[in-house]
Structure 1
Amino acid sequence: MSRALVAAMMADLNERYGGDGDGDQTPVEAVEFDPPEGLFLVAWRDGEPVGCGGWRTLAHFSAPGIPEDVAEIKRMYTTPAARKGGVAAEVLAALEESAREAGMHRIVLETGLPQPEAIALYEKSGYTRIDNYGYYRADPLCVCYGRDL
């Protein structure tokens, strides 16, 4: 089920950003979400998958010098039919709790200006803008957020 949700997320990103079919091109491997250095969740409602998201330990999959206790949110998505129903907020809260329990003290993420719903969710959840980082750091549409756990 997670593959289908991630594929839907990629299609949504292509539509928003006018992509060539690859969606988010950030290099991400499924193994990066394996506990204890990450987690990937699928949200279900009435027997149907309606959302997903994961966290990974940023230090192991990014540039050297990143503290070991920083997690990164990746692959957040809610199906159109389930949007505005609290799914993303529930997934985000569960990811934050899992990261905290794994010893993470900070959590960061990248999103983009064409994703105003995501920006609103993160700001409402206590995230603040940080310097851009990662694969899209030089992209003018990229915005990054972080918060202490």
Structure 2
Amino acid sequence: MSVEHLEIRQLPFAAPESVAMVADLLADLGARYNSSGDETPVDATEFDPPDGAFLVAFLDGEPVGCAGWRSHGTDGETAELKRMWTAPAGRRKGVARAVLRAIEDSARDAGRKRVILETGDKQPEAIAFYLANGYERIPDFGYYRNEPGVRSYGRTL
């Protein structure tokens, strides 16, 4: 399906549209995992250029998706994908793929050579999406690396 009315904007992580999208994501994760959503420490400034970015997708003017990347490690080559979410109104319309490509482009433009991410086994559609978009399993890392059900993926840009 076409996303001709899709606009992807870089916004601060603390912008109202970003906050609303992340709240929806965390509510979904909370329901799936019977938790508060995601306990991974996140500082809004981690998504500030040039060490990160946060993108919000708007379909016909309404926010329907988001994702951010932040620097990972000290080599300046790795971006960690965080807070990837597509609202129900944006699903099956190419929004997630467009946001992921925009995140990868942003990270590449900032000199990153690889994107990594954590997800979980209770998000089978996310796992299928990442696999379909060229991501491969990597050793678990990050906040949830020792938790059962964590799944980590990476892709060379």
TM-score normalised by structure 1 residue count: 0.92
Partner of 1:131: 139
Partner of 2:20: 4
1:44 aligns with 2:51: no
CA RMSD, aligned part only?
A: 0.9
Q: Aligned pairs, how many?
A: 141
Report runs of 4+ in structure 1 exceeding 6 Å deviation. none
- Residues 66-123 of structure 1: per-residue CA shift (max 9 Å, x gap): 5321110000001012212111111000000110111001110000111111111110
Q: 2:40 aligns with which of 17, 26, 38?
A: 26
Partner of 1:14: 30
Q: 2:101 aligns with which of 93, 100, 115?
A: 93
Assess if the C-alpha contact under 8 Å between 2:76 and 2:111 holds in 1: no
Assess if the C-alpha contact under 8 Å between 2:47 and 2:53 holds in 1: yes
What percent of counterpart residues are identical? 57
Unaligned 5+ runs, structure 1? 60-65
TM-score normalised by structure 2 residue count: 0.87
Q: 1:116 aligns with which of 113, 124, 127?
A: 124
Secondary structure in 2 aligned to 1:76? strand
Q: Compare 79-88 and 137-146 and name the one that shifted more.
A: 79-88
Unaligned 5+ runs, structure 2? 1-16
**CA distance in 2 between partners of 1:85 and 1:115 (Å):** 19
